[in-house]
Structure 1
């Protein structure tokens, strides 16, 4: 997962080496519910440590793709694999982040971040330490004791990101996580995401309806449309804000917008 020095500063190191990213593969896969395919014939290989962004019109199957990789929806045909092994259900090493923050409203931010660690059986003192370290990394150290409804939408998304990464996943699957945020908060969350991913080695699949977001974050961008994976393109100079006007990136942006009918 490549990076530029001005957009992904090193974060606070974790106490133990982070696990490496995982390979996620779809082979001739039909995705959706029984009798209602959303996407067919999908061949996709997401490399360990890669950030793959996925764009497409509403209802094209972006979320279905993500939930299939997460193990929440079985493929109706073809193969879904993680490191060459079939994906048969959810796994702790594949974290899913939603547009809605999905925090438990009766738990403090720290208790929410501790939740996946408790499920993994991490001792209480150790999980509190790790939760507090992640809240500090996302800028919420002074909000750890607050309930979700007492903080802003952007802060709730920061807490959700901390919760997802606290469990040390090998893949992070993100379903339009910043779609409800205003432009300034959204840009800040993009930068924060890259900062906190730094050093984790995690593979990321990031669904978005925003082409500019896809081109900023992704090593590659996948385009879904008409029930198919219609394009898979390398992104020139990913994670560089100044590359917005790079001719190659601008051309890719035009191609994607044209395909989306924008």
Structure 2
């Protein structure tokens, strides 16, 4: 049985920059203010009626006392006390986001034979892994499959590796992925191409955005090489374009797109 995640506290919704909470729904805010102010108003009016002061004194007493209590005491206290209820919808959305399925990118070498992908899907299904995207790269010996899968939050990379290995896969690698992984690669590449055609100087940044990598303007270093996967594109013989991605290696399709963008920039810059 999966443990139930505790609801995040209200302050988890605060803005990272200004520290303010999101504005609660108008109806809930009105009801919270009414619930906070009504008992104070009722008690003050009952006290004034019981004491029976002169009319002007009663008006001033009610106005000043109510204003001070409501603005500086009652309303802030009520907002803190009713915070979980006021921001209930936002907290429920936060719960759903925290409990959303985990995304994983899987790279595996398999034999190029009928039924291999079906076997792979069947063993992943045993782990409740739902295949979202598949890219097949044909190699000299076999096939390299790139998959993005969604799993329950408690499924581990080790469990996915075991399932893929059981299906006949070798050289299995598993990395955490994000929703950005699901964006269509061809669409991203076309958008980057249009950006490079408009301004060839945008090439390094366009490739970095396309690959989700960091552009190393000063070139590769030994420290950078140890931090993750590195890609170098020929630009200038003395200063090639260098990109670093720490979380996962570059796929053959991504490398090919980067090279084609580089070629496109050269054509635009030197049309002859």
Same fold (TM over 0.5): no
Higher relative contact order (CA 8 A, sep 6+): 1
Q: TM-score, normalised by structure 1?
A: 0.22
